[in-house]
Structure 1
Amino acid sequence: MKKIEIVERWLHQNMGLLRCPVCQSSFKNIDQHQLQCVNNHRININKHGYVYFLNRGVKSEYNQDMLEARRAILNAGLFNGILDRINQLMPDQPQKILDVGTGEGTPLARLQKIRECKEDTYIGFDISRAGVQLATQLNPDLFFCLADLRQLPFADDSMDTIIELFSPSDYHEFNRVLNPGGQIFKVIPGASYLQEMRKLLYPADDRHQHYDNSAVEQLFLKHYQNAKVINIKYLFEIPESLRSSMILMSPLHWGKNVRELDLNEVQQLKSVTVDVDLLVGNLK
């Protein structure tokens, strides 16, 4: 089957999970490769196998090279410890899972692989067209779309689990789309996250040498009063062939005072510390 046929089959089966980003009404059918809502607004289904729900174009700094480097590093296991812990905390029963800021989709695909629950539904969205287009190369059972965090194209009470790795939040929208009793897993960097790479890229007195996400954590705890904060920390050994990719995949290489590294300096980066706080909240 062509990608557009695969995604249209998924949409026919899961149309009730979606809502029109223009008028917030439900969709009624698919016509000429377009989703049509009850008020006759039409949303294009891309031939590459994703849906464009944005009401306006949004520029993303994540280009093709960066996204491909990210995929290579994530396939090598950079986030495996994080995703394994999320999986341990998720219910065994089938879940409708929404991945916020999915990028090129590898974390969502990894979660699907380790859960091995055929009845799960997996949805990822991002503002990056390049990222979502890469994501459609993954398992066709995963659904990807371009969407706005502030105006999610998903129905009320439609999701059981939200996962968010290093992405912005809109708790009003999250709570709208989560089922009562649903869970949100938000991952934020800890104090020593990628410290080896930061030391290579920035002077000792640069602000990039330090992470303080206490304000982000406190805001989460304000919205989910019985939330848990779980620290996850491990050392990731970087394959020699992927050390340049490790630099390229992170926004750290964009900073104002960032150093240009030569090949020898890049090869010094043999491992990095993964240090994150996993914030776990429940919607009551």
Structure 2
Amino acid sequence: MKKIERAEKLVQSHLKTFRCPICHQGYISLIGNTLVCEKGHTIDFNRHGYLHFLNTQGTTEYDRAMFLSRRRLLEAGLFKPIIKKVNSLLPTTSQTILDVGTGEGTPLAQLAALRHDQDFYVGFDISKAGITLATQLGINAFFCVADLRQLPFADQSFDTVLELFSPSDYREFNRVLKAGGLLMKVIPNADYLLELRHLLYGDRDQHYHYDNSKVLKLFKQHYPDAEQVPIRYQFNLPHELVTDMIKMTPMSWGKNVRQPTKDELANLTSITVDVSLLVAKKVIKGIANSI
């Protein structure tokens, strides 16, 4: 089955999951390659098999080369322990799962590989380059380009919202989550990619250290009963992926970033992954801010 045919079949069978980004009404039909909402607004599948829900082209510094570097690292297992922990905390029943800022899609594909075929997965990102790569994975998931602040999904349409290292909009997350649904957010801790940070910056630079307290505080303001699950491990970095390790993260974009020497790169053989998995059930009231 072609990518576009697979995507259209998924959307057709889950039509009520989506809503029009223009009028916020539901979609009522899929005619050919065209999705039609209750008020007649239309959107077409492109040749890559995804829908572009943004009213503008969208801007991002994440390009194809960066996503390819990230894919090589993720396929090598950089985030697999995180994905395994996420899966262990999910219900074993069939789930509808939304992956926020899915990028090139590998983490979602790894989660799907651990679960059963009855789940319905949707991944979105603002980057067309990432989503185009995600559609090449061949997994039973639907990918789209969309705006975090105006999700093209119906109210109470997902059992789980998963967000790895991306911005959040808690109002929108609560809107699309079902009653009792789970929000699972992964944030860096102080030692996340510590070796890379210290390689690229001097100890007086702001990038040399990392503090997640603002992100954590805001999350707990909205979800005071949330569980914080620490995940920490060492990832053995193959020599051929050292350059990809540097390219895959915005950490290398800082104003005062330094160029490592060949010897320094040769000595970068292990990376610390130090994160918190924040797990919360849907909050009904009081969600207004985002980060």
Q: Would you say same fold, with TM above 0.5?
A: yes
* Alpha-carbon offset, residue 32 of structure 1: 3.9
Identity %: 52
Indicate the residue corresponding to 2:288 in structure 1.
none
Indicate the residue corresponding to 1:78 in structure 2.
78
Alignment of 1:133-212 (within 5 A): 133-212=132-211
Alignment of 1:29-178 (within 5 A): 29-115=29-115, 117-178=116-177
Equivalent residues, number: 283
* Alpha-carbon offset, residue 222 of structure 1: 1.4
* TM-score for both structures, normalised by structure 2: 0.95
Output the CA distance in 1 between the equivalents of 2:224 and 2:205.
34
Output the CA distance in 2 between the equivalents of 1:7 and 1:140.
10
- Which range moves more in the overlay, 124-133 or 3-12? 3-12
Extract unaligned runs of 5+ from structure 2: 284-291
Q: 1:199-238 CA deviation, whole Å, 9 max, x = no partner?
A: 1100111111111111111111111121011111000001
Q: 1:142-195 CA deviation, whole Å, 9 max, x = no partner?
A: 110000000000000000001101100100000000000100110111001001
Output the CA distance in 2 between the equivalents of 1:140 and 1:20.
25
Name the aligned partner's letter for residue 281 of structure 2: N
Output the CA distance in 1 between the equivalents of 2:91 and 2:64.
35
Output the CA distance in 1 between the equivalents of 2:166 and 2:282.
19
SS of 1:236's partner is: strand
Extract unaligned runs of 5+ from structure 1: none
Indicate the residue corresponding to 1:276 in structure 2.
275
SS of 1:185's partner is: strand
* RMSD (Å), alpha carbons: 1.0
Output the CA distance in 1 between the equivalents of 2:216 and 2:63.
29
SS of 1:275's partner is: strand
SS of 1:124's partner is: strand
Output the CA distance in 1 between the equivalents of 2:92 and 2:176.
21
SS of 1:244's partner is: helix
Indicate the residue corresponding to 2:252 in structure 1.
253
Output the CA distance in 1 between the equivalents of 2:120 and 2:101.
17
Output the CA distance in 2 between the equivalents of 1:195 and 1:147.
32
Indicate the residue corresponding to 2:9 in structure 1.
9
CA contact (8 A) 1:6 1:140 kept: no
Spell out structure 1 runs of 4+ moving beyond 2 A: 261-265
